[in-house]
Structure formats: structure tokens, C-alpha cells
Amino acid sequence: MNFKQMTKTSRDNLGTIAMLVVAFAVVQALRAGGFVNSHMDGMLVPLCVYATMAVSLNLVVGILGELSLGHAGFMCVGAFSSAFFSKCFEQSMGTFPRFLIAILIGGLVAGVLGFLIGIPVLRLNGDYLAIVTLAFGEIIKNLVNVLYVGRDAAGLHISMRDQAALGLAEDGEMIINGPQGITGTPFNSTFTVGFVILLVSTIVVLNLVNSREGRAIMSIRDNRIAAGSLGIPVTRYKMFAFTLSAVIAGCAGALYAHNLSSLIATPARFGYNMSILFLVFVVLGGIGSTRGAIIAAIILTLLPEVLRFMADYRMLIYAVVLIVMMIVNWNPKSRAFIKAHSPKKWFGRGKEDR
Amino acid sequence: MVSFLNYFINGLSLGSIYAIIAIGYTMVYGIAKMLNFAHGDIIMVGAYIAFSVITTAKLPAAVGVLAAICGCMLLGITIEKIAYKPLRHAGSSLAVLITAIGVSYFLQNVALLIFSSNPKMFTPIIPMSMMTIQLGSFRIQTISLVSIAVGVVLVLLLQLFINKTRPGQAMLACAQDRGAASLMGISVNGTISLTFAIGSAMAGIAGVLLCSAYPTLSPYTGAMPGIKAFVAAVFGGIGSIPGAMIGGLLLGIIEILSKTYISSQLSDAIVFAVLIVVLLVRPTGIMGKVVQEKV
């Protein structure tokens, strides 16, 4: 197909994918040439995790138009279910098929949970929906922290009380140890795997936006009641987008889990603050723009490494950025100003308001 | 039985604190039609102000409480003017909600820079000699009784203020129809500022009470009670002051009893589960009104 004959959207999407592939190639070349120190090398997998989370949250916030404050919860579920699977089948399966299945399981379990949570949550709108997703995120974290699972010859033992209540045999092994989480998950996450997950999620989301379903979802964002009155099944499409987003978050969680020697559901990793960090990625990248979300995630993950001397002020700066971005982008007066002075106008390509 | 009564009173006292916070949420929600996510962090700021005055500057407790109230009031008005007012006509509730999250994050991190993340020991406002009251066979913490009393008095005062004074009536008018209220000569900006001032002052009081009952103070102290108070406000029906009071009390009792009798690790999860059940069964809460949404 001729590049010029493609629609603007297809070209944009192709640009996003090309950007990812080029970035991947450049990093791989730098690594092969030995220009990447071990510290930066260790950042590559978390980078993919955060970028994937940004894609996932952007689907809910930017395209569906609902605020989810519990996305770290889905990531947590994906991480624990996949790590659980990997621990159980560490000896009995080869690395590649096991890790592939682990990622799929992470996505699947998070997706099922997203669907179940979506049933009550998506009946709500706006502020209520945001606070309920926050509640679910916290509930997930709390439940994982009291979950004890062990294994011995008799099979799996599950308890919500403590290790002793499992009644493990002498040769038994703890798999999920309550607040200590899962230790010794195999290190399978590589930059390549992370890149593939990020690329696949990006392609899925970009294709979704550009499809009949995607347009239905965006019409719900723009005016839910009008969309409903046109015969668009509002709840079904909201559910679809929310579940898909949970699946992507679960895969990112699986990637995250297989990069850690001990997986613990601490607030710093899977709590509310993490969900806010993902939200900052989405807002900074421009709500609704998948490419923007990925770029913001990459910049904000790498920036603290570069600006180590400002480490104390990092979170404060994020907060200010969040507030200023929202006011500049959404205040009616500043929007009119930006529109009137946009550089695009000089080239006669001024776009209408979103 | 005696221990159950003790837990029950503890629950009531925590519930009164939630109620005081929830009233702030509910008032702001009713009038500005926004979820002030930073409300919980105003509690934390209030507690830090009281801490600085009472513990660091060694001034009397009453001065500390007064400073906390005034400081929170100013903070609430400033936040509204700087962060929320520019977005009042943005046409997207998401925009102002995300901004509020930004403000909440901002307050936490400013507190983190000033006071560091090490928890501070808050000096309770009740003198040592009067910490507990012995009543026959059981002993009650004075702060529990004070919290309950303060909660009841504040709700009564607020009800009087709203129903009997002109600024209160202006608030009701703004809550009902902002456009019509401004046509009647009511200053909408002034009323919204007043709402934020009252709500934040109550958050300041709640901060002092909360830290007197649970004396560790960190930059994240306000976040959880803030969210739980929101749950309480939704429970009681958002926009309704008596509803917020009832919701807060019920939530406090549920939390303490589930902490005691079910699991201390799961009590937060139980509180949030209550929110989800309430929203499923009766999304408008106990005393809320059903509002038909229009295009």
C-alpha cells in the first residue's frame, strides 16, 4: 500500500510503531556496542513495564474517558498469578513455553478480575467510578498480603490466616508467603520480551481505536447519554475496554514479576501511589494519545536517573506538572489561547478541538 | 460485654472523626460538584500545624487547635482559587478530579520535604492526667468522648448555619442551581470559597482529633482517613450533611469491630467492600436524592 494513500490515522499509528521499533533497535545496538552500563541495563525491563502500563491506563482514561485509580491492582494480580504459575512449574517445563504461559496467565487472571470488578464498577460514572477502582486496588493489595499458599506431596494448601494454618508436610514448600510474597521467581524477563509485550499492546490498542468498537467507545467518552440513545450498548463497550486494559496491565505485571527476586505487594510497588504515577504518564503524554503515554513513561522513568541530584523533589515536580498540565490544557481561556497561537496554524493545518 | 462496649465507643469516636471529614467532602461535593481529593491531605496539614504549634513551639493546645483551623481554612480557599477555579467551566469532571489528585500529591510531598517521612509523635490535646475516665468497671479514653461531642456539636451548628443564616441559604441555592443563584444576586465565587473554608476548617479539627487518638503523624496520615471519609459520605448519600454524619459513624463502628473480631489486616478491605455494596444496592446512599441525568 502506498504511504501517501493511507489515512492520517494509519500513518500516525505506523509512526508510533516505527518509533518503538527504532528505539528498540537503537538500544540493542548500544547494548551490543557496550555503551549501556549495568545500571541502565537494569532499567530496561521496568521501562517496558511502565510503558505498557501507560498504554493500558490510557485505554481507560484517554479512550474510554473514565478514571481508574486501581490499575496497580491489576498489575499486582498479573504479577502474582504469573509468578505463582512459574514457581509451580519451574522444574517441569522449559523456560520459553513456561514464561509464555505465565504471561498469558497473568493477563488472563487480571482480565477475569477486571471483568468481575467491571460488573459493579462500570455501572457508575466519573468520580464514583474512580473512587471504587481505588477501593478495589487497595482490596486486592490487602488480600494478596494475607494470602498463604504452600505445596507438598498432597497438593496445594491455601490459607488466609498464617503459615502454620496451611498444615504443610515436612518437605512442603511455601509459594506465596503472606506479606513476604513470592521469593525466587525465575528471572525470565528480558528487554526483548518486554519490548514484544509493549509492541503487541500498542498495536492492539491502536487498532482498537481505529475500529468500529473503538469509535463506539470514544462516543461513550464524548457523550455517554447520546451514545446510548444511538443504540450503542454503553455498558458492554465500557466493560470491553476496561477488561482489555486489565489484560494488558496483567501482562505488564507478569513481566514485572519475572524481573524481581522477591515479589512483595508493598504499597510502593502496587499501591495507590503507583496508580497515580501511571496516571501522570497518561496526563503528561496527552490524555488519549497512546504514543504520548509511552513517551511520557519512558522520559519520566529515565529522568530521575539522569537528575539524581533532584531526587528529593521528583515527586513534588510530578505533582506540579500534573496540576499545571491539567489547568493549561483544560481551562477554557488557555485552550482558546493555545488554539489561537498554535504553530500548526502557520502551516494551515490547524486542527479542530478534540 | 464490657469489652464490646469499649470497642463500640472507640468505633463511635473514630466514626465521629470520619463524620467531620465526610461533612467537608459532602459540602464541597454538593456545591462545587467536584470530588476534592486533597481533602484528606488538608487533615494532615492541620495536624502538622497543630504539631508545630503545640509540640515544637510549646504553646497551649487551644492555640494549636485554633492555628490548625485557620491554617486549613486559608489552605482550602487558596487551593480552590489556584487549582480548581480555572477548571470550573472545563466541561470535564475528569480534568478537575485529576487536578485534585495532583493537589493531594503536592501537599503530601511538601510535607515530606518539610517534616521528612519519619513519623512524628503528636502530643494529644488532652492533658496526661485526664487521658482516661473510669466509669464503674470500664475505662474510656477522654479523646473518644471529646471526638463524639465535637462531632455532634459541629453537625448541629452546621445545620443551624445552613438553615437559619443568609450565607447558609446562599449555599443551598448554589447547590441547587448555580446559574439561578447568581441571577438572584448571590456571589457564587464567594459561596464556593466559604464552602471550602468551612470544609477545610472541619478537616483541620478532624486532623487534631485523629492525631490525638492515634498519635503518629506522617505525610500520609491524611490519605487513608480521607478516602474512608469519602466512603462515609457516599454511604450517607453525598450532598447530605446528616447523611455524612450517619455514614461516618457507621463506618467507624464497622472498621473498629471488623478490626477486632475479623482481621486487623483486612479491615481496610472490609471498609471498601462496604462502599462497593452500598454503591451497588443504593448508589445514592442512605439519605441521598436520586437525580435524573440529562443530556
Q: Report d(CA B232, CA A267) in Å as an integer.
A: 23
Q: Report d(CA B276, CA B235) in Å as an integer.
A: 10
Q: Report d(CA A70, CA A6) in Å as an integer.
A: 38
Q: Side chain identity at B38, as an amino acid letter?
A: A
pLDDT at B25 exceeding the cut of 80 = yes
Residue A137 resides in a domain? yes
Q: What is the pLDDT of residue A100?
A: 92
Return the C-alpha torsion angle A36, A40, A43, A45, nearest 10. Answer: 10
By CB atoms closer than 10 A (0-12, 13-18, 19+), residue A212 is exposed
Closest alpha carbon to A279 in B100, B290, B26, B168: B100
Q: Report d(CA A58, CA A60) in Å as an integer.
A: 5
Contact between B265 and A145 using a beta-carbon 8 Å cutoff: yes
Chain B positions touching A145 (Cβ under 8 A) are: 265
Find which of B272, B278, B280, B282 to mutate to test the A interface (most A CBs within 10 Å of its CB).
B272
What is the separation, in whole angstroms, between the first and last Cα of chain B? Answer: 55
Residue A118 resides in a domain? yes
**Which residues numbered 180-209 in B keep a CB inside 8 Å of some CB on A?**
none
- The CATH number assigned to the domain holding A69 equals 1.10.3470
Q: CB of A128 within 8 Å of any CB in chain B?
A: yes
Residue B294 resides in a domain? no
CB A81 within 8 A of CB A217: no
Tell me whether strands B132-135 and B216-217 are parallel, antiparallel or unpaired. unpaired
Radius of gyration of chain A (CA): 21
CB A328 within 8 A of CB A97: no
Give how many domains chain A has, as a whole number. Answer: 1
**d(CA B95, nearest CA chain A) in Å:** 6
Contact between B279 and A127 using a beta-carbon 8 Å cutoff: no
CB A240 within 8 A of CB A119: no
CB-defined contacts A:B, below 8 A? 128
By CB atoms closer than 10 A (0-12, 13-18, 19+), residue A43 is middle
Find which of A121, A146, A323 to mutate to test the B interface (most B CBs within 10 Å of its CB).
A323
Q: What is the mean pLDDT of residues A74-85?
A: 93
**Which residues numbered 289-348 in A keep a CB inside 8 Å of some CB on B?**
312-313, 315-316, 318-320, 322-323, 326-327, 329-334
Of the pLDDT bands very low, low, confident and very high (cuts 50, 70, 90), residue B92 is confident
Q: CB of A136 within 8 Å of any CB in chain B?
A: yes
Contact between A136 and B272 using a beta-carbon 8 Å cutoff: yes
- The CATH number assigned to the domain holding B89 equals 1.10.3470
Find which of B101, B113, B230, B290 to mutate to test the A interface (most A CBs within 10 Å of its CB).
B101
Contact between B106 and A279 using a beta-carbon 8 Å cutoff: no
Q: What is the mean pLDDT of residues A263-291?
A: 85
Q: What is the mean pLDDT of residues B56-78?
A: 93
Q: CB of B131 within 8 Å of any CB in chain A?
A: no
| Strand, helix or coil for residue A314 | helix
pTM above 0.90, yes or no: no
Residue B91 resides in a domain? yes
Q: Report d(CA A214, CA B231) in Å as an integer.
A: 33
Residue A115 resides in a domain? yes
Contact between A138 and B268 using a beta-carbon 8 Å cutoff: yes
Contact between A132 and B97 using a beta-carbon 8 Å cutoff: no
pLDDT at B295 exceeding the cut of 60 = no
Q: What is the mean pLDDT of residues B207-232?
A: 88
Residue B160 resides in a domain? yes
Which runs of consecutive H residues, i.e. helices, occur in A33-89?
38-58, 71-88
Q: CB of A278 within 8 Å of any CB in chain B?
A: no
Residue B32 resides in a domain? yes
Residue B292 resides in a domain? no
Q: What is the pLDDT of residue A268?
A: 76
Chain B positions touching A134 (Cβ under 8 A) are: 227
Residue B291 resides in a domain? no
Of the pLDDT bands very low, low, confident and very high (cuts 50, 70, 90), residue B194 is very high
Q: Which of A66, A127, A326 lies nearest to residue B99, judging by beta carbons?
A: A326
Residue A257 resides in a domain? yes
Give how many domains chain B has, as a whole number. Answer: 1
Q: Which residues of A220-230 are buried (b: 16+ CB within 10 A; e: fewer)?
A: bbeebeebeee
Contact between B99 and A322 using a beta-carbon 8 Å cutoff: yes
**d(CA A120, nearest CA chain B) in Å:** 6
Chain A positions touching B89 (Cβ under 8 A) are: 332
Residue A32 resides in a domain? no
Q: What is the pLDDT of residue A183?
A: 83
Q: What is the pLDDT of residue A350?
A: 45
Chain A positions touching B86 (Cβ under 8 A) are: 327, 331, 333-334
Q: Quote the ipTM score.
A: 0.82
CB A251 within 8 A of CB A103: yes
* Chain A CA closest to residue B285: A128
Q: Report d(CA A119, CA A124) in Å as an integer.
A: 10
CA A284 vs. chain centroid, Å, equals 15
Contact between B266 and A67 using a beta-carbon 8 Å cutoff: no
Residue A4 resides in a domain? no
Q: What is the pLDDT of residue B17?
A: 94
Give the domain extent around A257: 45-306
Of the pLDDT bands very low, low, confident and very high (cuts 50, 70, 90), residue A352 is very low
Radius of gyration of chain B (CA): 19
Q: CB of B280 within 8 Å of any CB in chain A?
A: yes
Q: What is the pLDDT of residue A346?
A: 61
pLDDT at A78 exceeding the cut of 70 = yes
CB B236 within 8 A of CB B287: yes
By CB atoms closer than 10 A (0-12, 13-18, 19+), residue B226 is buried
Q: What is the mean pLDDT of residues A14-40?
A: 88
- Sheet containing strand A155-159, strands side by side: A155-159, A148-152, A173-177
Contact between B113 and A316 using a beta-carbon 8 Å cutoff: yes
Contact between A225 and B93 using a beta-carbon 8 Å cutoff: no
Alpha carbon of B271 to those of B41, B145, B225, B227, B275: distances in Å?
Answer: 20, 23, 11, 10, 7
Residue A63 resides in a domain? yes
Q: What is the mean pLDDT of residues B27-43?
A: 89
Give the domain extent around B136: 2-281
Chain B positions touching A319 (Cβ under 8 A) are: 102-103, 105-106, 108-109
Contact between A146 and B90 using a beta-carbon 8 Å cutoff: no
Q: What is the pLDDT of residue B164?
A: 93
Alpha carbon of A322 to those of A285, A326, B110, B112: distances in Å?
Answer: 11, 6, 15, 18
pLDDT at A4 exceeding the cut of 80 = no
Closest alpha carbon to B96 in A93, A207, A130: A130
Of the pLDDT bands very low, low, confident and very high (cuts 50, 70, 90), residue B41 is very high
pLDDT tens sequence across A94-151: 888 899 999 999 999 999 999 998 888 887 777 778 888 888 888 888 888 888 888 8
Q: Report d(CA A347, CA B234) in Å as an integer.
A: 50
Q: Which of B29, B268, B276 lies nearest to residue A120, judging by beta carbons?
A: B276
Give a three-class secondary structure readout of A272-296: HHHHHHHHHHHHHHCCCCHHHHHHH
Q: Report d(CA A220, CA A226) in Å as an integer.
A: 8
pLDDT at A91 exceeding the cut of 70 = yes
Q: What is the pLDDT of residue A338?
A: 82
CB B279 within 8 A of CB A132: yes
Find which of B279, B280, B290, B295 to mutate to test the A interface (most A CBs within 10 Å of its CB).
B279
CA A81 vs. chain centroid, Å, equals 16
**d(CA A331, nearest CA chain B) in Å:** 5
pLDDT tens sequence across A279-325: 888 988 888 889 999 999 998 888 777 777 777 787 788 888 888 88
Chain A positions touching B105 (Cβ under 8 A) are: 276, 315, 318-319, 322
Q: What is the mean pLDDT of residues A339-351?
A: 63
Find which of A322, A337, A353 to mutate to test the B interface (most B CBs within 10 Å of its CB).
A322
